[in-house]
A and B are shown apart, each in its own frame.
Chain A
Amino acid sequence: MQSMTTSRQLSTRHLLGIKDLNEDDIQLIFETADNFKDVLNRPIKKVPSLRDITIANVFFENSTRTRLSFELAEKRLSADTINFAASSSSVSKGETLIDTVNNILAMKVDMIVMRHPYPGAGIFLSKHVKAQIVNAGDGAHEHPTQALLDAFSIRERYGDVAGKKVAIIGDILHSRVALSNILCLRQLGAEVMVCGPTTLIPKYISSLGVKVEYNLVNALNWCDVANMLRIQLERQDIAYFPSLREYAMLYGLNKQLLDSLDKEITIMHPGPINRGVEITSDVADSHHSIILDQVENGVAVRMAVLYLLAGTRG
């Protein structure tokens, strides 16, 4: 067997955004994630691959799913992990990002998983420190692992992503999930539409090769998969629509609307859900929804990303 082992490698040392990945990279991540999903269904869900790697989860912004998912992925790979939340750290005493991270790296850390409120924070950091960086969300810019797990979940549901019609509905303007999803789905050959109030659709979004629709019913009639996004009130400095109630009436997905379509569509949501705003409870908990599958796949996809990135180390 010594002559037959094959090896493939990602084309990038960091995962800063989907922009850095080519189609082969994404397929490699998916194929590796298939194997990790298999591992996660065993009685013992752990492999020793990264036992000599230390990973710091550095979160300058709140997160439940992503942080837990990364931490679990790291532990399943036997990596050592440390967690850092900006709210309880010396950042509030005036320490800069590079200083903070270099102090963490001085403790012999190999990889940084970072979430930060500023777009490009991961890219900036990757140019100034030695460690490998995984972007776990940078402002309204990118959230690559979310896009990968979304596309992976679509592939799991339909067998393939190419040719599928995906509508991303809601607050596109403030969403890093939207941008990463658009780039990832386009790379894999899916058709993408964005839908939301005019004020929440970025002006030049169609230059990314996506359709733009302002009417929810039209979007739902067009798509195979609807990815419902949350209204990011914490990023909205001005009022983009008259009231949350009006938004819920015009862009909220409910059972009645779903039943009025003449086909079955799949409902996704990156979380956290605001029940009764962008999606009602009966839709979120229905068989159309693969919201919890997305969460489950998140661990396998993140394991694949960390495993493959570790393999690109010198």
Chain B
Amino acid sequence: MKQSILLEGQKFQITIQRLCHQLIENHADFSDSVIIGIQPRGIYLGRRIVEELKEIEGVSAIAYGELDITFFRDDFRRKDSGPLVPSSTHIDFIVEGKKVILMDDVLWTGRTIRAAMDALQAFGRPAKIELLVLVDRRFSRQLPIEPDYIGIQVDSIDSQRVTVRWKEVDTHDRITLLTEEES
């Protein structure tokens, strides 16, 4: 497996901060906006962004939730290895009439985001849904879904994998592109 590092350390942090400033541009004090991280890996991005936003002046209380989309996936039973194990959902507010910013670490086919929009309906009708992703694997979408905020864009082929590591759980911040070695 060949690994190439796309982003880490200081640059990773600057990217997160840029995303925060872009959010503030559109959402000001977040009084009508809520942030929702998508389980299982989007929650680390969501938590980090919320933490950074609080650091930045003028933004104190932000409604933040975590959404599991397992039961809403359209590839249930199409994977070889049986049903997907769900994670927990924590959304203790109503999204009715709010501007929702969905967050996930990697945007690839767009199917996760479609499922997330479906799952979100159980919590009300949002005024608007936006999408923030740390990594956009562009040109690989299977559905007409595009992000509003992008950390970095990556050109990759289907056999490659993109992983995001977080210092909170994986000891360091790093985005890596993995390529299967030809045998």
Which positions in A face B, CB cutoff 8 Å? 1-10, 28, 31-32, 34-35, 38-39, 42-44, 46-49, 77, 307-308, 310-313
Contacts and interface: CB of A to CB of B under 8 A. Distances in A.
B40 A5 contact: yes
B179 to A, nearest CB: 13
B83 A39 contact: no
A1 B105 contact: yes
The SS class assigned to the A binding surface is: loop
B41 A1 contact: yes
B82 A42 contact: no
Interface of B: 38, 40-42, 68, 70-72, 76-77, 79, 81-89, 104-106, 108-109, 112, 118-119, 121-124, 161-163
Contacts of A2: 106, 108-109, 112, 161-162
Given A3-B161, A311-B77, A48 B118 contact: yes
A34 B71 CA distance: 13
Contacts of A32: 85-86
A7 B87 CA distance: 11
Among A1, A38, A44, A49, residue most surrounded by chain B Cβ atoms (within 10 Å)? A1
Kindly list the 3 A-B residue pairs having the minimum CB-CB distance in the complex, ordered from nearest: A311-B83, A9-B82, A47-B71
B3 to A, nearest CB: 13
Nearest to A31: B85
Contacts of A308: 83
B81 A9 contact: yes
A31 to B, nearest CB: 7
Most interface-central of A2, A8, A44 (chain B CB within 10 A): A2
A77 B72 CA distance: 10
B104 A1 contact: yes
27 contacts: A1-B38, A1-B42, A1-B104, A1-B106, A1-B112, A2-B106, A2-B161, A3-B162, A4-B40, A4-B41, A5-B84, A8-B82, A8-B83, A28-B85, A32-B86, A35-B71, A42-B122, A44-B121, A47-B72, A48-B71, A48-B118, A49-B71, A77-B71, A307-B71, A308-B83, A311-B76, A312-B82
B82 to A, nearest CB: 3
A35 B76 CA distance: 16
Given A3-B162, A35-B71, 10 more contacts: A1-B40, A1-B42, A1-B112, A2-B106, A5-B84, A6-B85, A9-B83, A35-B68, A43-B122, A310-B83
B82 A7 contact: yes
B85 A39 contact: no
Contact of B71 (A1, A28, A39): A39
A7 B86 CA distance: 9
Q: Which residue, B40, B82, B109, has most C-beta atoms of chain A within 10 A?
A: B82
Contact of A7 (B85, B88, B161): B85
A307 B89 contact: no
Nearest to A52: B77
Q: Which of A5, A8, A34 has the most CB of B within 10 A?
A: A5
B75 to A, nearest CB: 9
A42 B95 CA distance: 13
A9 B76 CA distance: 12
A7 B83 CA distance: 6
B71 A310 contact: no
Nearest to A46: B122
Contacts of A3: 161-163
Contact of A35 (B42, B86, B109): B86
